[in-house]
Amino acid sequence: MNKLAKRAWFALALAGVLLLGMGVIVVRYFIDSPDWVTFQNSPHVYTDGVMNSGKIVDRGGTVVLDATNGKSYADSASLRRSMLHLLGDREGNITPFLLQEYGSELVGFDRINGTYSTGKREGQMALTVSADVQRTALAALDGRKGTVGVYNYKTGEILCAVSSPTYDPDDVPDVEGNPETYEGVYVNRFLACYLYAWLRLQARHGCGRARRDPGYPLPHVHLRGQRRHRRRDHPVQRRARHAEL
Amino acid sequence: MAGISFQPSELVKLCFLYVGASTMDRIVTKRNLFLFIVYSAAICGCLALMNDFGTALIFFVAFLVIAFLRSGSFATVTLACAATGFAGVLAVRFRPHILRRFATWGHAWEYASAGGYQQTRAMMCIASGGLFGLGAGNGWLKYVFAADTDLVFAFLCEEWGLIIGLSAVAVIVILAVFTVRSAKVGRSSFYTIAACAAVAILTIQTILNVFGTMDLLPLTGVTFPFLSNGGSSMLASWGLIAFLKAADTRPERQLRGPHRKGRGGGAA
């Protein structure tokens, strides 16, 4: 029987595999769950394909998107046009970059409570961009095709990221009928320029080196300011995590 | 029958353990061994014809455990694995749909609307539940096909939280430890072999179910013992537990741990 008892450990090896796998699952949960929860088809986060909670405000506190009850853009048409390539449109033609990048925070997700909410935990995210600067930059472009990007080179904070041509998501024009006016309207030229410069640097100096060497001119930039929860009296101080565009 | 379904392979697990353990007990002869191999091959062949390769894998693992416990030879186990690997290659050759499952494996998010549909929804719901869950009945995964069977781990995590999900898995691990610890005092080698094979079945089922849900393994459609919906599965799980309990002959006081001499002042 002793011999048999020793061999019985073979059965325990399977339990070891199970434990090892569960460890992997837990690690993946803590790393990837913010991405899992904002999956496009999640009924916990989206209603009719639209993120159903959270607010985005500019650095001055102006609401640029309120997703609490459906997707509501800013009141000002010029602001809606200037923010289109950051917030996306209703039809899904333009990728809502901000919602993709910070969606899990907007819906009030955290790894402890998931999306469980009492209706008071919708996230509110403050951007580093300024609504006034966005509008001014778009006006300065005056219908020309291009982009305006302004950032603080010391902190990486983006102050302005406008792409043109653009349109009002609450008053969608006939894009197909005016191909010259709206040529490349679905492209975020700011991101495209940034990525192009990034790839050029990588090609010139070797993959990954530009990221490590602070001497290169391409900075880490980010659009997110401090995150706030409505039910708290004071903004929650959180460690700023740079989002790489 | 109308309203009632029955899964014969679940109850065959119990028969398999009984036959395997008794064949490999003291009465082992070449004839018995040959008959057991034929019996195992017949079961796996039938399951392969039914395209139920997940269950076939469960039987194979049970076979390995029984063979190793009796022989103690890693060479035997390696040989059996090699032979099964060869059979697996043949199965993929003649059943190309198996290969498609492997194509999705590890890339569920890239095939979120096709082969990875169930796994992506499962992971999404696990994240939504957090550590403490959304509450009973508040989940969404129940609307996905096989949520209460193949994806039951995610179903549990969404409504009751990841902690409860992990606890359910921990129960299986504890059963495995219990079985191995009680192997020393087994009533006979028959009971010990049967108990170890039974716990191996419970563990491999859990591995296939949970890892398949989380895309660590291909989704094979295997049930989670005691959790997945289905009477046949539940009956089989209780049957397997009976093998575990039957092997343990320790009286209750022994389970509490070793006696301390000199405590209590001698015999009453």
| B196/A10 Cβ within 8 A | yes
Is pLDDT above 50 for A243? no
Higher per-residue pLDDT: B75 or A12: A12
pLDDT grade for B7, boundaries at 50, 70 and 90 = confident
Higher per-residue pLDDT: A92 or B220: B220
pLDDT grade for A50, boundaries at 50, 70 and 90 = low
| A8/B192 Cβ within 8 A | yes
Closest chain A CA to residue B204: A14
Q: Among residues of chain A, what percentage have pLDDT more than 70?
A: 75
Is pLDDT above 90 for B170? yes
The whole-number pLDDT of residue B46 equals: 83
Among the partner residues B125, B130, B193, nearest to A116 by beta-carbon distance:
B130
The whole-number pLDDT of residue B61 equals: 87
Model confidence pLDDT, tens digit, residues B59-88: 888 888 888 887 777 777 787 777 777 777
**Amino acid found at B189:** S
Check if the beta carbon of residue B92 is closer than 8 Å to that of residue B51.
no
Model confidence pLDDT, tens digit, residues B217-228: 988 888 999 999
Among the partner residues A2, A12, A115, nearest to B177 by beta-carbon distance:
A12
Residues 6+ apart with CB under 8 A from A178: none
Chain B: nearest CA to A6, how far in angstroms? Answer: 8
Is pLDDT above 60 for B253? no
pLDDT grade for B26, boundaries at 50, 70 and 90 = low
φ, ψ (nearest 5 deg) of residue B205: -60, -45
| CA A109 to centroid of chain Cα atoms | 14
For an interface test with B, give the residue of A3, A18, A19, A52 to mutate (most B CBs within 10 A): A18
Mean pLDDT of chain A: 76
Among the partner residues A15, A22, A36, nearest to B176 by beta-carbon distance:
A15
Is pLDDT above 70 for A203? no
Is pLDDT above 80 for A68? no
Cβ of A41 under 8 Å from any chain B Cβ? yes
pLDDT grade for A44, boundaries at 50, 70 and 90 = confident
Among the partner residues B130, B203, B211, nearest to A14 by beta-carbon distance:
B203
CA pseudo-torsion sign B76, B79, B85, B88: negative
| A8/B69 Cβ within 8 A | yes
The whole-number pLDDT of residue A137 equals: 93
In the stretch 97-116 of chain A, residues with CB closer than 8 A to chain B read 109-116
Chain A: nearest CA to B267, how far in angstroms? Answer: 31
The whole-number pLDDT of residue A234 equals: 28
Chain B: nearest CA to A18, how far in angstroms? Answer: 6
C-alpha–C-alpha distance, residues B254 and B252, integer Å = 5
Is pLDDT above 60 for A174? yes
Check if the beta carbon of residue A68 is closer than 8 Å to that of residue A55.
yes
Within 8 A of A1 by CB-CB distance, chain B residues are 183-186, 189, 192
Within 8 A of A26 by CB-CB distance, chain B residues are 162, 166
The whole-number pLDDT of residue A218 equals: 54
The whole-number pLDDT of residue A18 equals: 95
The whole-number pLDDT of residue A165 equals: 92
Mean pLDDT of chain B: 82
The whole-number pLDDT of residue A215 equals: 45
| B134/A22 Cβ within 8 A | no
Is pLDDT above 90 for B247? no
Could you tell me which of B204, B230, B228 has the C-alpha nearest to residue B217? B204
Residue A59: count of CB within 10 angstroms of its CB? 16
Q: What is the DSSP letter of A179?
A: T
pLDDT grade for B163, boundaries at 50, 70 and 90 = very high
Chain A: nearest CA to B67, how far in angstroms? Answer: 11
Q: Given the structure tokens 């305006």, which residue do they identify?
A: A148
| B131/A14 Cβ within 8 A | no
Within 8 A of B72 by CB-CB distance, chain A residues are 3, 7
C-alpha–C-alpha distance, residues B162 and A22, integer Å = 11
Residue A12: count of CB within 10 angstroms of its CB? 20
pLDDT grade for B202, boundaries at 50, 70 and 90 = very high
Could you tell me which of A96, A190, A38, A194 has the C-alpha nearest to residue B127? A38
Model confidence pLDDT, tens digit, residues A109-128: 888 888 876 455 567 778 88
Burial string for B188-210 (b: 16+ CB within 10 Å, else e) reads ebbbbbbbbbbbbbbbbbbbbbb
For an interface test with B, give the residue of A2, A14, A52, A112 to mutate (most B CBs within 10 A): A14
Chain B: nearest CA to A27, how far in angstroms? Answer: 12
Q: Can you spell out the DSSP letters for B137-180?
A: T--SGGGSTTTTTTTHHHHHHHHH-HHHHHHHHHHHHHHHHHHH
Lowest pLDDT segment from A131-140, A196-205, B169-178, B252-261: B252-261
Model confidence pLDDT, tens digit, residues B34-66: 777 888 888 877 887 777 778 888 888 888 888
Is pLDDT above 50 for B252? yes
Is pLDDT above 90 for B19? no
The whole-number pLDDT of residue A99 equals: 73
C-alpha–C-alpha distance, residues B37 and B29, integer Å = 12
For an interface test with A, give the residue of B110, B132, B162, B213 to mutate (most A CBs within 10 A): B162
Counting one residue from chain A and one from chain B, the pairs whose CB atoms sit within 8 A come to: 140
Cβ of A13 under 8 Å from any chain B Cβ? no
pLDDT grade for A229, boundaries at 50, 70 and 90 = very low
Within 8 A of B210 by CB-CB distance, chain A residues are 18, 21-22, 25
Closest chain B CA to residue A42: B124
Closest chain B CA to residue A22: B166
